[in-house]
């Protein structure tokens, strides 16, 4: 017993034939033969929170400077900044985005985790940074 197959006189370029000269297009394509790219970036509901670039059959999201693209591929979030930590001397941003204050050489981080104080550190708080330079004099 034979099975009827749909017939499309013109091939569906980016889709499948579902009936007599009728194509069902893959996502990102339109047209009678699924040969036209959909500009997702031009749709009323934009797929990206910042910048969008249309590609063949799809799109790609980009973030403005100071923002990171999240794992969903469309949402941008503001990068952590040292200024937001209000550190007395300096800070560093860990890979996880955590902001940590740093102290000058010879100082340690105070209990508020922002300011620095003298004396021996109660416990290590990351690598100290040198806040001064030294000039070596030639031997006499």
Q: Where are the domains of the chain?
A: 8-37, 40-78, 80-131
User: Which class is domain 40-78?
Assistant: mainly beta
88 and 103 in contact (C-beta within 8 Å)?
A: yes
Q: DSSP labels for 49-82?
A: SSEEEEETTEEEEE--TTEEE-TTSS-EEEPP-G
CATH of 80-131 among 2.60.40.10, 1.10.3720.10, 2.10.25.10, 1.10.645.10: 2.10.25.10
33-42, 58-67, 102-111, 112-121 — most confident range = 33-42
**Could you read off the pLDDT of 57-100 as tens digits, one per residue?**
999 999 888 778 888 899 988 776 776 678 888 788 777 778 88
Mean pLDDT over 108-127 rounds to 71
**pLDDT-derived band at 12, boundaries 50, 70, 90:** very high
* 80-131 has the same fold as 40-78: yes
Whether this model's pTM surpasses 0.85: no
């Amino acid at each position: 017993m034979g099975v009827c197959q749909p017939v499309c006189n013109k091939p569906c370029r980016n889709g499948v034939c579902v009936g007599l000269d009728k194509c069902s297009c893959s996502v990102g394509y339109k047209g009678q033969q699924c040969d036209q790219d959909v500009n997702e970036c031009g749709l009323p509901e934009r797929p990206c929170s910042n910048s969008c670039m249309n590609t063949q059959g799809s799109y790609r999201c980009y973030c403005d400077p100071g923002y990171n693209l999240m794992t969903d591929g469309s949402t941008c979030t503001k990068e952590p900044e040292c200024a937001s930590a209000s550190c007395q001397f300096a800070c560093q941003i860990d890979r996880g985005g955590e902001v940590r204050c740093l102290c000058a050489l010879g100082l340690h981080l105070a209990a508020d985790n922002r300011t620095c104080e003298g004396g021996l550190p109660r416990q290590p708080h990351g690598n100290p940074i040198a806040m001064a330079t030294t000039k070596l004099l030639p031997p006499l």
